[in-house]
Amino acid sequence: MLWDQGGFWLISAICAGVVGFWSWGVMHNYAVEEAKRRSDYTGEFYDLTPEEAAAVPDWLAKVNFAAFAVGVVLLIVGFIV
Q: Are 5 and 81 in contact (CB under 8 A)?
A: yes
Summarize pLDDT for 4-13 with one digit per residue, the tens. 666 787 788 8
Kindly tell me the burial class for residue 16, based on how many C-beta atoms sit within 10 Å of its own C-beta (0-12, 13-18, 19 or more): buried
Does the pTM surpass 0.75? The reply is yes
Q: How many CB atoms lie within 10 A of CB 13?
A: 20
Q: Would you list the domain boundaries of the chain? A: 2-80
For the chain, state the CA radius of gyration: 17
What Å distances lie between residue 60 and 9, 15, 30, 76, CA to CA? 24, 16, 10, 25
Summarize pLDDT for 19-71 with one digit per residue, the tens. 999 999 999 999 999 999 988 988 887 888 889 889 999 999 999 999 999 99
